[in-house]
Amino acid sequence: MNKRFNLHLLTNNLPKAKKYRVLSKEKITEYLKQRSFIKYVHEDSNYRFNKDVIAVYNFEGQLLNGKYASFIIDAKKGFILSKKTPKRMLHHMFNHQLLANVSLQKMINQILNIKFHHGVSLWQYAFASINGYCDKSSDWVGLHQMVDYKCKACSVVLTSKKIHGVQYQFVFEHGQKHFAKRLNEAITHNWVMSKLIENTIAQHGWHIHECGKISQEKTLLTNEDYLIKKDIVKDDEHLLKELVDQMRHACYENFGKAMFSDLGMEFNMDDFNHIKRKAERKLSIM
């Protein structure tokens, strides 16, 4: 490991010093030359997106120390340097953490008529891209970690909730000009996701509090003032039922394609639908 950074694991907390409470790419590059900052930084190139992610700065175009593509701010682990780009880390999340893979995310996009994908919804937490998922150089923020934001010219400034009693600000230069609209779309997308999951749980007769602690913190993600003002954004049982049916079909189809592939067979939709009908057929004593 490069001695210039002297990375180690002496601390897992974020610094509380005022000078380190405002971060940007420029400041991060400068702070990494300071010993007082370096002690909060360690390397983890196996790091994955999770609920403790506050923000991720993408340095793919100008690698930190010549090899680190991402600078991650984690609520529990502090500052992390990773050789992987944010997009590579997100790819793992898409494959292993999303409900119904990317299919459900796209379904909700279509229903809300969202043309530009700027967020990833996971019910109790969600992430938003500063420049859009398709922009390989984009930075990311955890909407469940933020309480406010401001757009200034071509920059975006987001303020975190209190982390260990301290609020932090994250500055992103050259944010796309419609960031406020895209942020509302990402928040609304996760709202629909949450209603879908809660409705599905209720249909099975389960109680929400038995399925894990539900966060009631006031953040951008839970602030309904940011929801898109559309008729569709309401407790629409028909919409939720349609989404559940589409999600179930997508899960069956993904499973079917995997099975056909493992058996060395070409996927056939007619055979798939036949198996699906048999699987959904109710048991009968006749």
Query: Contact, 141 vs 149, CB < 8 A?
Result: no
Same domain, yes or no: 47 and 163: yes
Task: Return the half-sphere exposure (C-beta side, CA atoms, 13 A cut-off) of residue 98.
Answer: 23
Q: pLDDT at residue 62 above 80?
A: yes
CA–CA gap between residue 213 and residue 235 (Å, rounded): 22
Query: Contact, 228 vs 181, CB < 8 A?
Result: no
Same domain, yes or no: 163 and 262: no
What DSSP element (H or E) covers 5? Answer: none
| pLDDT tens-digit series, residues 130-188 | 987 666 678 999 999 999 999 987 799 999 999 999 999 999 987 767 888 999 999 99
Of 20, 32, 21, the residue nearest 62 (C-alpha): 32
| pLDDT tens-digit series, residues 205-257 | 555 554 444 556 789 999 989 888 765 555 566 666 676 677 667 767 777 78
Domain of 164? 18-95+118-177
Query: Contact, 51 vs 125, CB < 8 A?
Result: yes
Number of domains in the chain: 2
Query: Contact, 116 vs 182, CB < 8 A?
Result: yes
Same domain, yes or no: 167 and 91: yes
CA–CA gap between residue 190 and residue 227 (Å, rounded): 10
Give pTM, 2 decimals: 0.79
